[in-house]
Structure 1
């Protein structure tokens, strides 16, 4: 076997005992969960913004960013609910490069999964404790989700994971809203197959157990654009794309139909600075068509303290070391603009 078994990773139970969620934070989390769920169940007409760095690289700058978001949230709370992105596992197309804080709690040092598990849990807890904001994370590895299962307020399944049976089954046992991105091919049938699967109950193995899930009725669609066989980005946020997805939702008669539009990735054609323009076009489509107003629940935006991105060795505070993001000044203005146009 070509593996060197270095050391045993603590179980989720061990980590939760070492780094527990205090009772007062459980109450805050329950209140926050209800607010988010009410939006996806169409009981609350506020708009969701899932916003933050492409990847959470360092606790100090990420929490600085979330603290700023919290201040803006207070000003737009009647129209917008902000869910900060704290993405601690980073997918790599070729498997090479920084894989997130779960793997490397310090991006400049060698991987240390033992410390990484603790670091990501502490960071999510800090966001909840200091700013009362449960966050979003990507379920890149279904087996890693369990370490944050009592903290997260929202989960995303990436374009390269959405066809995976393990992800679909794991999501069926999750009790917070979970977005399924369309695959990189752009095939919305694949995305809807994942939503159908995750909304059902299943029997499967997970975390060393035989489990039976209840089905996650808050599983929904995230549109992130596509990439064709020549490597060209193809957006799917335009009015016609949104109508097509909404019509498919109506045909399938799924529970809690909802669409989140990712305004970066292939939708921005990797031009991060186009995110505000795309956001405004989606809002225009939503105002124009009642069906879209009903189904489009929010946007996913990549944003950090400093605009653009950098190499790991540059060490510029609050600047992405993965995909490029819009900076704070642009972010703050965009949130207020969105609130004004809802």
Structure 2
């Protein structure tokens, strides 16, 4: 029996003149590697009732602090970026005890940053390169990151995270109580759309140029509904429709022109927010440009802010600090053991210094209460996810 006739068609060439070859020669190439879906990872590493209470309760508390109806100070503190899960958990246990000690005065959230934005090149973070060896085992990074975050939230400690990849929140967003859009991405339309659907308050940092207006514009953009391309929990490519996020706020982190945490800088930021019809509240990043990228100078930033808060300065609702178990930073060198609890990215304050600074901020809040009436106990909240259609 003869095979059925097939219509004539030109042969597909794989030679140097083929479309595939020409595409390879004219730019980069992409290979694909399947990943587990967000839903499957969440099923494997679920959010317990206790963890959910920590995450949602902290989101609500952050909203109250930002609104000024809770007179505590928000303090987001932790490593520049996590590279060692054991060290991160050791830090989290110390921070949990300190957070309990200062809970009447400070709302402490641990900085658990997993993606490291880069101006040029460098280690991209635990999520992308969990072994610090350039293997880029992203699937393993997602699993390790979620497992660690479940453990930290399981201690009763809220988590903060900077969002770099727009897909990451689908995998980890249910564990985060405060989010950030960084200086390198605050002008990105993709990140503004992303923030508009995130189920937590989001800090918008001033741009790498120092522009505070870029952060204000980002807050305006994130406050309204958007529709954009993304991935649903089951991994399906989808149109994501957002409701808008009313809990975004400016984070002042300095820039090429120097620090921007002075009283004049804060007044300028508040005036820009007022002109845009937005809530007047800012958070001060004590590191980066505000410390001249010198980790020890964070102490001076915190000391000045503590005095101003004690004197009743309005508008500043929180601070960010970079801190780890061991002060300073180290390079990753093949064959050389890493110092346990020391940053491999930006230099951080050590634990003893960190504890002293948080206690000084708590004291500043107590001093402020002596001259100001207590805040109301009500506020809007951000609790349920709004990202997916």
Instruction: Tell me which of 316, 327, 336 is aligned to 1:307.
Output: 327
Instruction: Tell me which of 212, 216, 222 is aligned to 2:245.
Output: 216
SS at match of 1:123: helix
Q: Which residue matches 1:259?
A: 282
Whether the 8 Å CA contact 1:159–1:184 is kept in 2: the answer is yes
1:118 to partner: Cα distance? 0.5
**CA–CA distance in 1 between the matches of 2:219 and 2:242?**
15
Q: Which has the higher contact order (CA 8 A, sep 6+)?
A: 2
Instruction: Tell me which of 334, 338, 341 is aligned to 2:361.
Output: 338
Whether the 8 Å CA contact 2:79–2:322 is kept in 1: the answer is yes
Aligned runs of 1:1-342 on 2, under 5 Å? 1=24, 2-94=28-120, 96-108=121-133, 110-129=135-154, 131-207=155-231, 208-227=237-256, 234-254=258-278, 256-288=279-311, 292-293=313-314, 295-313=315-333, 314-342=337-365
Structure 1 unpaired stretches of 5+: 229-233
1:29 to partner: Cα distance? 2.5
SS at match of 1:150: helix
**CA–CA distance in 1 between the matches of 2:328 and 2:281?**
30
1:57 to partner: Cα distance? 0.7
Whether the 8 Å CA contact 1:86–1:135 is kept in 2: the answer is yes
Whether the 8 Å CA contact 1:261–1:300 is kept in 2: the answer is yes
Deviates more, 1:114-123 or 1:25-34: 25-34
**What is the root-mean-square deviation of aligned Cα atoms in Å?**
1.5
Q: Which has the higher helix share?
A: 1
Displacement over 4 Å in runs of 4+: none
TM superposition score normalised by structure 1: 0.93
1:287 to partner: Cα distance? 4.2
Whether the 8 Å CA contact 1:239–1:282 is kept in 2: the answer is no
**CA–CA distance in 2 between the matches of 1:199 and 1:153?**
18
Structure 2 unpaired stretches of 5+: 1-23, 232-236, 366-389
**CA–CA distance in 1 between the matches of 2:327 and 2:358?**
16
Deviates more, 1:132-141 or 1:38-47: 38-47
Deviates more, 1:327-336 or 1:101-110: 101-110
1:28 to partner: Cα distance? 3.2
1:17 to partner: Cα distance? 1.8
1:220 to partner: Cα distance? 0.5
Whether the 8 Å CA contact 1:172–1:216 is kept in 2: the answer is yes
**CA–CA distance in 1 between the matches of 2:341 and 2:284?**
24
From the CA coordinates, give the structure whose radius of gyration is larger: 2
1:66 to partner: Cα distance? 1.0
**CA–CA distance in 1 between the matches of 2:294 and 2:133?**
26
TM superposition score normalised by structure 2: 0.82
SS at match of 1:300: strand
Whether the 8 Å CA contact 2:76–2:319 is kept in 1: the answer is yes
Whether the 8 Å CA contact 2:81–2:113 is kept in 1: the answer is yes
1:4 to partner: Cα distance? 4.5
Deviates more, 1:211-220 or 1:100-109: 100-109
**CA–CA distance in 2 between the matches of 1:169 and 1:276?**
35
Q: Which residue matches 2:4?
A: none
